[in-house]
Amino acid sequence: MKLLFQCPVCLNYSLEEPAYLNGVGSDEICYICGFQFGLDDYPDKDEGIVLWRTNWEKMGSPTVRYLSSEEKTRYYKVQQAQ
């Protein structure tokens, strides 16, 4: 899986396709923040993105919940090393 495109919600490079092409959502779901482009941004794209990002940030570190066990181990090692 190649992830090259930046998610406009969580700002991670977590998308396989651009979130929007000519203003149309890709239907892809960001695996980090869970936002689906073309669905969760309805009816107002800009408002939806800001709202989702605010909620996402309030949830603390939800990123961890979406990581594989191998990635989690790496994440916690980084956390413990700090």
Binding site for Zn ion (CB under 5 A): 7, 9-10, 30, 32-33
How far apart, in whole angstroms, are the C-alpha atoms of residue 26 and residue 30? 11
* Minimum distance from residue 78 beta carbon to Zn ion (Å): 20
* Minimum distance from residue 56 beta carbon to Zn ion (Å): 8
Residue with smaller CB distance to Zn ion, 12 or 72? 12
* Minimum distance from residue 6 beta carbon to Zn ion (Å): 9
Residue with smaller CB distance to Zn ion, 2 or 77? 2
Residue with smaller CB distance to Zn ion, 33 or 40? 33
How far apart, in whole angstroms, are the C-alpha atoms of residue 24 and residue 46? 13
